[in-house]
Amino acid sequence: MFGLGPTELIIIAVIILLIFGAKRLPEIGKGVGGAIREFKKVKKDLSTKETPDENQDRDKEQNKDDNPSVLESKVTDKLLDQIPGVKKAIDIKKKAEKLKDLIK
């Protein structure tokens, strides 16, 4: 698994426990689990709606535009909404950018 042994995984788990605390870990796990379920659901919905020809056309358009796909943006939005600390951090970042624009 990515070249990580049991010792490294235990160290990472202890660091995560120290950073977030025991009370927040179930919330974070629930958020990540929900995001994974939502990712699978969106992936399944998109794969049933599109035919193989549409997939090839869409892939060509994405390569030309270099824009993130619809799937990526939906999954990112769902993931950010479900993880407790990330949403607050994004709100703070947006407020900081607004202040920065006002100062200019």
pLDDT in tens, the chain (104 residues): 468 888 988 898 889 888 888 888 888 888 888 888 888 888 888 777 765 555 555 555 555 444 557 777 777 777 777 777 777 777 888 888 888 888 87
Rounded CA gap, 70 and 39, in Å? Answer: 12
Per-residue pLDDT at 1: 46
And the tokens for 44? 């399944």
Rounded CA gap, 92 and 100, in Å? Answer: 12
What residue type is 35 in one-letter code?
A: A
Q: Is 0.75 topped by the overall pTM?
A: no
What DSSP string runs through 22-48? Answer: TTTHHHHHHHHHHHHHHHHHHHHHHHH
Per-residue pLDDT at 67: 54
